[in-house]
Amino acid sequence: MDFKKTIFLKLSLLLFLTSCSQNEASRFEFALGTFCTITLFEQGQASIYNNIFTRLNEIENLMSVNILSSDISRVNAAAGIEHIQVHEETFKVIERAVFFARLSGGAFDPSVGPLVSLWNIGKDNQQVPSRNEIEKILPLINWRNIELDKNSNSVYLKVKGMALDLGAIAKGYAADESVKIIKRSNTPRAIIDLGGNIVVLGEKKDKSLWKVGIQNPEKDRGETIGYVQIPEKTVVTSGVYERFFEENGNRYHHIFNPSNGYPAHNGLLSVTLITDVSMDADALSTAVFVLGYNEGIKLLNFFPGTEAVFIFEDKSIITTQGIDFFLTDNSFSVKQNIF
Ligand code: AMP
Ligand code: MG
């Protein structure tokens, strides 16, 4: 081998190594109150990851109830007092949340804030409130008392003590915003996972479909009961396992039935939605989880192209017809679906 060739080979090896070291296959950070992992595979430039996580923090700063200066905290503090002008994207998410509240007959209700604070599920002071305490705050949970003014992007909660909580929809919105950044960067394939709010993007290298695992609702995080096989889609689950505590043999989880103030209980362990827009999948999975199977499928009929996997307490599973679901845990069984 001549000298020039050796230099050339060494140079290309060096370039290859530097380009490898500049690329991160995936990045993991805590944002939006959950563990977020973005995987850009071989195109993982630091700048793209930075842009995505900056965007997630921006959304959190606007929409989190845990940040005092957020739009949502400001609206909540002004309940019964005055209209608050919010960022147009906060307005957009609240508007969409109210849309799903109307459509689900209030099963999904972004004014669920007082219930979330009363139960404090997942926090140190989580507790089963007295029936009296629940009855007292129930009238505050009413999406009809959210007044929206599109011209000024302002929001008014009509009753003092009302509070918005976008926990059931904001992660979906954030996932959609991450998709935009990834698409703009021409990254050929990616996985967005915002605490189980998943989007698979583009095509796998070998052109096969993506396999997205469905959490086993009775097991530790990461243990799946099976997987769905899909092209570019979002997969969002609402389930009893996400945040809960147990008392006297009862499990109390974080998704409330706004009509009685207790964690929704209708035989479901989880509902997974598979569709194109993550914000809609997020809101719908929560709504359908609260509605239960029979009412839930009626709601899903409004959204053609949206598929679902229902996992029940009796260890049965029902899937909609348009989804390829593969069971890997044989302690569960798949019933054939009817819709
Ligand atoms: P998800 O995991 O998307 O189903 O959202 C659950 C989160 O949404 C909870 O932690 C609450 O912050 C909020 N939430 C609970 N119950 C409801 C409900 N019925 N409608 C809307 N948001 C809810
Ligand atoms: Mg949700």
Is the distance from CB of 165 to CB of 92 less than 8 angstroms?
Answer: no
Asked whether residue 257 is assigned to any structural domain, the reply reads yes
> What does the chain come to in residues?
339
Q: Please choose from 254, 269, 279, 295 the residue to mutate so as to test ligand 1's pocket, defined by most ligand atoms within 8 A of CB.
A: 254
Burial class (CB in 10 A: 0-12, 13-18, 19+), 97: buried
Helix or strand holding residue 291 (H, E)? helix 278-291
Number of domains the chain contains = 1
Q: For residues 189 and 203, what is the distance between their CA atoms, to the nearest angstrom?
A: 6
Which residues lie near ion ligand 2 (Cβ < 5 Å)? Answer: 168, 282, 285-286
Per-residue pLDDT of the chain (339 residues; tens, 9 = 90+): 444 444 444 444 444 444 445 689 999 999 999 999 999 998 899 999 999 999 999 999 999 999 999 999 999 999 999 999 999 999 999 999 999 999 999 999 999 999 999 998 878 888 888 999 999 999 999 999 999 999 999 999 999 999 999 999 999 999 999 999 999 999 999 999 999 899 999 999 999 999 999 999 999 888 999 999 999 999 999 998 788 777 778 887 889 999 999 999 999 999 999 999 999 999 999 999 999 999 999 999 999 999 999 999 999 999 999 999 999 999 999 986 655
Q: What is the pLDDT of residue 125?
A: 84
Asked whether residue 16 is assigned to any structural domain, the reply reads no
Asked whether residue 242 is assigned to any structural domain, the reply reads yes
Asked whether residue 112 is assigned to any structural domain, the reply reads no
Asked whether residue 44 is assigned to any structural domain, the reply reads no
Q: Terminus-to-terminus CA distance in the chain, angstroms?
A: 68
Asked whether residue 126 is assigned to any structural domain, the reply reads no
Q: At what angle do helices 170-184 and 88-103 cross, to 10 degrees?
A: 130
> How many angstroms does the Cα of residue 83 sit away from the middle of ligand 1?
24
Give residues (CB < 6 A) around ligand 1: 108-110, 112, 116, 165, 167-168, 238, 242, 254-256, 258, 282, 285-286, 290
Sequence-ordered alpha helix ranges (H) in 109-247: 113-119, 131-137, 170-184
Q: For residues 274 and 9, what is the distance between their CA atoms, to the nearest angstrom?
A: 47
Ramachandran region of residue 222, left (φ > 0), alpha (ψ -120 to 50) or beta?
left
Q: For residues 152 and 169, what is the distance between their CA atoms, to the nearest angstrom?
A: 22
Token digits of residue 319: 């899937």
Q: What is the number of other CB atoms lying within 10 angstroms of the CB of residue 142?
A: 17
Domain encompassing residue 317: 188-338
What type of residue is 107? A
Q: What is the pLDDT of residue 68?
A: 97
> How many angstroms does the Cα of residue 263 sit away from the middle of ligand 1?
10
Asked whether residue 229 is assigned to any structural domain, the reply reads yes
Asked whether residue 116 is assigned to any structural domain, the reply reads no
For residue 268, the domain's CATH number is 3.10.520.10
What type of residue is 42? E
| Closest ligand by atom to 287 CA | 1
The owner of tokens 């043999």 is 249
